[in-house]
Amino acid sequence: MVKLHDLEFEPYISEEEIMQVIDQISETLNKDFGNKNPVFLGVLNGSFMFASEIIKRFNSDCEISFVKMGSYEGTETTGNVKTLLGLNQDLKGRQVILLEDIVDTGNTLVEIDQILKQAEVEDYKVVTLFFKPDAYKKDIPVQYKGMDIPNEFIVGFGLDYDGLGRNLTQVYKRK
């Protein structure tokens, strides 16, 4: 058990399982983008651990950048996505690999889709470690999914509850 603020969480996905999924995603990304010098675009804060692991396993030239988005208060999404830190490099005509820790409602993807269209990227693909099919209600394709999970609140491996839990190496679900 882990207690963060006022809530208890129980073990859900082990670090070993997470690393196996990351190895599988990385193998596919190396095949699909190995000679294209893509820009990996991590969505902060949650994707920092996932992004680090993916990029360490990418065997060709690449660049990395980050955007910071926010939509959660406590355990609930506000439905209102804010750009807290925007793009800091020119992505016009580039292949972008968007790295998300989790895709649930898809509201963040809609906001990032607009940002990338304005940036005139050649193309982008969405890669997520965790995907909640029951919560996802948008039309933006998610090409690379690590694990489908139920619509439960999770923490660890970059995901937080009001700022706590991001440093946990495995994933916990709300008890």
Map out the domains of the chain as residue ranges: 2-72+81-174
Tell me what pLDDT residue 54 has.
98
Annotated catalytic, 123?
A: no
Please classify residue 6 by burial: count the beta carbons closer than 10 Å to its beta carbon, then call 0-12 exposed, 13-18 middle and 19+ buried: exposed
- Report phi then psi at 24, rounded to 5: -65, -45
Distance separating alpha carbons of residues 168 and 155, to the nearest angstrom: 8
- Report phi then psi at 81, rounded to 5: -90, 130
**Catalytic residue, candidates 61, 104, 134, 160:** 104
Report the chain's C-alpha Rg in angstroms.
Answer: 16
Please classify residue 10 by burial: count the beta carbons closer than 10 Å to its beta carbon, then call 0-12 exposed, 13-18 middle and 19+ buried: exposed
What is 2-72+81-174's CATH number? 3.40.50.2020
Asked if the peptide bond before residue 45 counts as cis, ω within 30 degrees of 0, the response is yes
Name the stretches of the chain with pLDDT < 70.
70-86
**Angle (nearest 5°) at CA 26 between 25 and 31:** 100
Tell me what pLDDT residue 82 has.
63
Tell me what pLDDT residue 88 has.
76
Tell me what pLDDT residue 102 has.
96
Question: Which two structure tokens, joined as six digits, stand for 38?
Answer: 């893509």
Tell me what pLDDT residue 49 has.
98
How many angstroms separate the most distant Cα atoms in the chain?
48
Tell me what pLDDT residue 68 has.
87
Tell me what pLDDT residue 69 has.
80
pTM for the model stands at 0.92
C-alpha 81 chain-centroid distance:
15
Q: Show Cβ contacts of residue 167 under 8 Å, excluding neighbours closer than 6 positions.
A: none
